[in-house]
Amino acid sequence: MTDPVSRALEFLRAHQNPDGGWGYRPGHRSFVEPTGFCLLASTIDKNSAVSAAGLAFLKACLKGSGAMGIDPSDSEGSWMGYAALLAFSALGAKVESRKLAQWALAIEDASGRFTFEEISSIAMTYRYDAAIPGWPWTAGTTAWVEPTALFLIALIRAGISPEHERLRSAVRLLVDRRVRSGGWNFGNPFSQSSELEASPMSTALALAGLGAAGYPRDSPAVQGGLRYLAGALAGDVSTITLAWAGLALKCYRFEGPVSFDPLTRLLESQADDGGFRKNMFETALSAILLADPAILIPAAGRSE
Amino acid sequence: MSPAALTRRAAIRTMAAAAASTLPFGLPACRPTNDRHDNKSSFSVALIRCPDYEARTLARALNDGWGLAVPPDIRGKRVVIKPNIADFSPDRPIHTDVRLVEALVLLLRNAGAAEVIIAEGPPHNRDTEWLFRQTGYEDMAGRLDVPLVDLNYDDVRPVRNANPKATALRNLYLPKTILTADVLISVPKLKTHRFAGVTLSMKNMFGVVPGLKYGWPKNILHWNGIALSICEISATVRTHYSVIDGIVGMEGHGPLLGTAKKSGVLIMGTNALAVDATAARVMGVNPARVEYLAMAQTVRLGSLQTRDIAVAGSRIKDAGTDFALPPGFSDLRLLRRS
């Protein structure tokens, strides 16, 4: 196997843990997020032995309530559930997918806990609407851009309609939290009399989430985000940002100059052992992007 | 980073006080030591002039401070340095200057440390690869062959919170790199903080809380109450030594949007609270008015009283310089430096 995707898959196979899962790095403990993405990548060559063991690990992390922790020992629900949902959906684990999707749709953020005065204060200080529900990193706390985008992508992949109230709200939150000059950061567009800077990774994730939900390309939020991302890609960006940016740009069919093409640059960062930065999550995401982005977001694979 | 933390400050103060009402919850540690930490002890803190980040200047200042504020025995030990890399800006001194950490690595190696590791879990930017590269840590770690660990993705295990009345963080997930450290050194930047007033050695420990469990930002710490979270983390994870980068700090809208403030000092010592209290005085801040420092003293994490702290090196009244305070924190101003 000499092509980049096959070499990446070989790297992932070589570092699957005995418990069936994957850690973020070779030889490290298994967690739900890297395991979910390695399982998604295993659908590229339909490796059933790899996926059976990985699915068993994820199923062991699923609680009776439908909650998904970071690993089997974690009794609390975690943001990592989005990655398990992607894997369950892609591998046809329908019962688990449905159960986890219902749990994810029921995760509460802090939007319902804020008083009117607090919402007004946040609107003045940070210039966003704290009453819009999204997804938090930990249940009951404030919703942020990245977990909202990740759950949006996963729930749509699981077959939940973008017209579902929770998903429409997620889209509203993403649009509302954008930095007005273009792009997104973690979720505070403004603070202390200053617009806060966007960041490439948050922008890529937000655009991918909006793309998954079919949010229009000609909207100011998407146009501003694409403009920001194209500019950011001309500079120093990380491997993981290249991967998410590649997904976002495919969702919106953005064609830039070759030097900005994230997938070309991603290929250049692949190590001789087939991995990307010796990181299972990043390697799996990169393999998916290079092979077939529709594994993650169907809209990223369709031609116009 | 939570807006709620700002608008609900008064309520959180009340809640935090209630949650800490069974104090003291004591002090301890990832590894037992022979150090005593109660309010009867005298804590030695070194306040060292260090006008710039030149390698020779830093080496001399660190050596002076290391000699004046008795350090832990690091010979043959696994030492973890925890800098503050809250974010990166080419225009603002947000992060601990990499040149200081480089000088500290060299000092620790010369002093006989068996292994030195640099570890950080940035609070709201998940893109650590980019942060480590932009701040110069990736390059420095490569040159010195020092492991550079992203604590947000380290292996973790839950540890019982030292506060028996803890609620949101009853079991605190912590990174293996921190839990297996023989000696943990906190190396923050001297900065103001829009929610906490100042951010120093104890607040820097927010960075040991892993994103893979708590996310980016680690918003649960704000909902739990910043002061209480700082005290709970500090009581559960022992910081053995602190070196505060006050050569160029940040004033005003810190910790991200403030402006550079040249102070030309390092503040060093074994007790994080005593070091932080001294650093606060250097900034013209009354530590007793900083909520988390006052709470830390109440829960016996050390002392912020001048009578309990022996400052060696420069005098605070000579080396101190008033930092512009964040909006809403004018009541922290120290009226007179002793």
Residue A66 CB neighbours (<10 A): 18
The answer to whether residue A183 is domain-embedded is: yes
With cut-offs at 50, 70 and 90, classify the pLDDT of residue B139.
Answer: very high
| CA A60 – CA A56 distance, rounded (Å) | 6
Q: Concatenated DSSP letters for A114-172? A: --HHHHHHHHHHH-S-TTS---BSSTTS-B-HHHHHHHHHHHHHTT--TTSHHHHHHHH
Facing residue for B219 by CB, picked from A117, A138, A240: A138
Which is higher by pLDDT, B257 or B26? B257
Give, in order, the Cα–Cα distances in Å from A100 to each of A78, A203, B190.
11, 26, 45
Q: Which domain holds residue A211?
A: 115-260
Q: Report the pLDDT averaged over residues A59-69.
A: 96
A124 in the same domain as A94: no
Total number of domains in chain A: 2
| CA B251 – CA B190 distance, rounded (Å) | 9
The answer to whether residue A302 is domain-embedded is: no
Q: Report the pLDDT averaged over residues A236-240.
A: 95
Facing residue for B223 by CB, picked from A141, A192, A240: A141
A220 in the same domain as A83: no
Q: Is the ipTM of this complex over 0.90?
A: yes
Cβ–Cβ gap B133/A70 under 8 Å: no
| Strand locations in B121-240 (E) | 148-150, 156-160, 171-175, 183-187, 189-193, 197-199
> Would you say the pTM of this structure is higher than 0.90?
yes
pLDDT at B238 over 60: yes
| CA A93 – CA A108 distance, rounded (Å) | 25
Q: Report the pLDDT averaged over residues B310-320.
A: 96
Q: Are B189 and B168 in contact (CB under 8 A)?
A: no
B257 to chain A, any CB pair closer than 8 A? The answer is: yes
pLDDT > 70 fraction of chain B, expressed in percent and rounded: 87
Cβ–Cβ gap A241/B127 under 8 Å: yes
pLDDT at A269: 95
The answer to whether residue A303 is domain-embedded is: no
Residue B161 CB neighbours (<10 A): 19
Q: Are B188 and B83 in contact (CB under 8 A)?
A: yes
Q: Report the length, in residues, of chain B.
A: 338
pLDDT at B26: 53
The answer to whether residue A125 is domain-embedded is: yes
Which is higher by pLDDT, A266 or B26? A266
| CA B236 – CA B307 distance, rounded (Å) | 26
Provide the 3-class DSSP secondary structure of residue A225.
helix
Q: Are B320 and B335 in contact (CB under 8 A)?
A: no
Give the DSSP letter of residue A68.
B
CA A124 to centroid of chain Cα atoms? 29
The candidate with the shortest Cα–Cα distance to B159, out of B169, B148, B147, B149, is: B169
Q: Are B205 and B86 in contact (CB under 8 A)?
A: no
A199 in the same domain as A145: yes
pLDDT at A237 over 50: yes
A141 in the same domain as A228: yes
| CA A264 – CA A289 distance, rounded (Å) | 11
pLDDT at B41: 53
Q: Report the pLDDT averaged over residues B199-203.
A: 98
pLDDT at A231: 93
pLDDT at B1: 44
A169 in the same domain as A88: no
Q: Which residue carries 């006080």 as its tokens?
A: B17
| CA B103 – CA B111 distance, rounded (Å) | 12
Q: Report the pLDDT averaged over residues A66-92.
A: 97
Phi/psi at B316 (5° precision): -60, -40
Give the DSSP letter of residue A276.
S
Cβ–Cβ gap A201/B129 under 8 Å: no
Cβ–Cβ gap A188/B216 under 8 Å: no
Q: Are B202 and B276 in contact (CB under 8 A)?
A: yes
| CA B230 – CA B202 distance, rounded (Å) | 7
Q: Are B183 and B218 in contact (CB under 8 A)?
A: no
A147 in the same domain as A89: no
Q: pLDDT digits over A100-121, tens only?
A: 999 999 999 999 999 999 999 9
The answer to whether residue A94 is domain-embedded is: yes
Which is higher by pLDDT, B308 or B29? B308
Cβ–Cβ gap A25/B153 under 8 Å: yes
pLDDT at B261: 98
Mean pLDDT of chain B: 90
With cut-offs at 50, 70 and 90, classify the pLDDT of residue B17.
Answer: very low
Domains of chain B (ranges, CATH numbers): 3-32+50-332 (3.40.50.11440)
A194 in the same domain as A101: no
Q: pLDDT digits over B85-137, tens only?
A: 999 999 999 999 999 999 999 999 999 999 999 999 999 999 999 999 999 99
pLDDT at B257 over 70: yes
pLDDT > 70 fraction of chain A, expressed in percent and rounded: 98
Contacts of B83 (CB under 8 A, 6+ apart): B95, B96, B98, B101, B118, B120, B137, B187, B188
Mean pLDDT of chain A: 95
B126 to chain A, any CB pair closer than 8 A? The answer is: yes
A252 in the same domain as A183: yes
Q: Are B47 and B314 in contact (CB under 8 A)?
A: yes
| CA A100 – CA A80 distance, rounded (Å) | 11
Q: pLDDT digits over B268-291, tens only?
A: 999 999 999 999 999 999 999 999
Nearest CA in chain B to A32: B212
How many DSSP H helices and E strands does chain B contain?
14, 12
Which is higher by pLDDT, A47 or A3? A3
A213 in the same domain as A166: yes
Q: At what angle do helices A32-42 and A48-61 cross, to 10 degrees?
A: 150
Q: pLDDT digits over B29-81, tens only?
A: 333 333 444 445 589 999 999 999 999 999 999 999 999 998 999 999 999 99
The answer to whether residue A60 is domain-embedded is: yes
B82 to chain A, any CB pair closer than 8 A? The answer is: no
A249 in the same domain as A150: yes
A207's tokens:
């655009």
Cβ–Cβ gap B3/A238 under 8 Å: no
Tell me the chain B residues in contact with residue A201 when contact means C-beta distances shorter than 8 Å: 125-127, 130
Q: Report the pLDDT averaged over residues A15-43.
A: 98
The answer to whether residue A139 is domain-embedded is: yes
pLDDT at A266 over 50: yes
Q: pLDDT digits over A169-194, tens only?
A: 999 999 999 999 999 999 999 987 78
pLDDT at B18: 46
With cut-offs at 50, 70 and 90, classify the pLDDT of residue B19.
Answer: very low
Q: Report the pLDDT averaged over residues A79-95.
A: 97
The answer to whether residue A268 is domain-embedded is: no
A31 in the same domain as A142: no
| CA A137 – CA A95 distance, rounded (Å) | 25
A100 in the same domain as A172: no
| CA A136 – CA A77 distance, rounded (Å) | 11
